[in-house]
């Protein structure tokens, strides 16, 4: 899908049902993250121009793990091989991980998330350790928030890398 098509899809969801709107906005934010990583070299994606040490590569890795956590481990209640929770674990990029690999892993995680979510109604509830129970609706809203927050981080990092800014830039 080209960038103008992405914006057209978001605009067209204005008259859609709740699920269509939630799915469209989550996919839109996922697309922003992908565009922020697109065309970067491994060195550029690993640059740490901010004091926190956040990188675009780290954001890709983190978001792929978050997708798997919420849609696979929690929503479908499947056993998981995800790393144990920790403050920086999911953002840590191995020396052998390329931006191309991380982007592919993120795209694949998002595709699996869509497949998992399609099996359930928005009101479907599952246990969650800290919150008691969450619905698929709650997971969608949380993932929109989580992905949008990190898309903003990626936008700043990309601007500091090559001056590129904006939703489609």
| Residue range 15-25, pLDDT digits in tens | 789 999 999 99
**pLDDT above 70 coverage of the chain, percent:** 91
- Buried b / exposed e along 70-91 (16+ C-beta atoms within 10 A): bbbbbbeeeeeeeeeeeeeebb
Q: List pLDDT tens digits, range 133-148.
A: 999 999 999 999 999 9
Please report, for the domain that includes residue 19, its CATH number.
Answer: 1.20.120.450
Q: Classify residue 167 by its DSSP letter.
A: S
Q: Quick check: 54 and 153 in contact, CB under 8 A?
A: yes
Q: Per the domain annotation, does 167 fall within a domain?
A: no
Q: Could you tell me the residue range of the domain that residue 112 belongs to?
A: 3-162
pLDDT higher at 167 or 169: 167
**pLDDT above 90 coverage of the chain, percent:** 77
Q: Per the domain annotation, does 126 fall within a domain?
A: yes
Lowest-pLDDT range, 59-63, 99-103, 114-118, 162-166? 162-166
What pLDDT, on a 0 to 100 scale, did the predictor assign at position 15? 74
**pLDDT above 50: residue 4:** no
- Residues 145-152: what's their mean pLDDT? 97
Q: Per the domain annotation, does 65 fall within a domain?
A: yes
Q: Per the domain annotation, does 78 fall within a domain?
A: yes
Closest by alpha carbon to 53, among 12, 13, 88?
88
- CA 151 to CA 6: how far, in whole Å? 15
What pLDDT, on a 0 to 100 scale, did the predictor assign at position 169? 60
Task: Give residues with Cβ within 8 angstroms of 84, minimum separation 6.
Answer: none
Q: Quick check: 139 and 74 in contact, CB under 8 A?
A: yes
- Residues 40-49: what's their mean pLDDT? 96
**pLDDT above 70: residue 51:** yes
Residue 11 pLDDT level (bands cut at 50, 70, 90): confident
Helix (H) or strand (E) holding 134: strand 132-135
Q: Per the domain annotation, does 168 fall within a domain?
A: no
Q: Per the domain annotation, does 169 fall within a domain?
A: no
- CA 148 to CA 146: how far, in whole Å? 6
Domains: count for the chain:
1
Does pTM top 0.75 for this prediction?
A: yes
Q: Per the domain annotation, does 141 fall within a domain?
A: yes
Q: Per the domain annotation, does 127 fall within a domain?
A: yes
Average pLDDT along the chain: 90
């Amino acid at each position: 899908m080209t960038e103008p098509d992405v914006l057209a899809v978001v605009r067209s969801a204005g008259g859609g049902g709740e699920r269509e709107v939630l799915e469209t906005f989550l996919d839109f934010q996922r697309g922003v993250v992908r565009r922020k990583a697109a065309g970067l070299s491994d060195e550029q994606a690993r640059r740490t121009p901010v004091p926190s040490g956040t990188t675009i590569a780290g954001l890709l890795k983190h978001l792929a793990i978050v997708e798997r956590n919420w849609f696979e481990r929690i929503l479908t209640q499947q056993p998981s091989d995800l790393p144990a929770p920790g403050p920086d674990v999911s953002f840590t990029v191995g020396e052998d991980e390329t931006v191309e690999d991380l982007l592919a892993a993120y795209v694949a995680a998002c595709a699996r998330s869509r497949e998992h979510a399609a099996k359930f109604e928005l009101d479907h509830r599952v246990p969650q350790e800290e919150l008691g129970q969450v619905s698929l609706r709650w997971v969608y809203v949380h993932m929109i928030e989580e992905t949008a927050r990190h898309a903003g981080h990626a936008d700043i990092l990309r601007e500091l890398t090559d001056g590129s800014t904006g939703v489609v830039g």
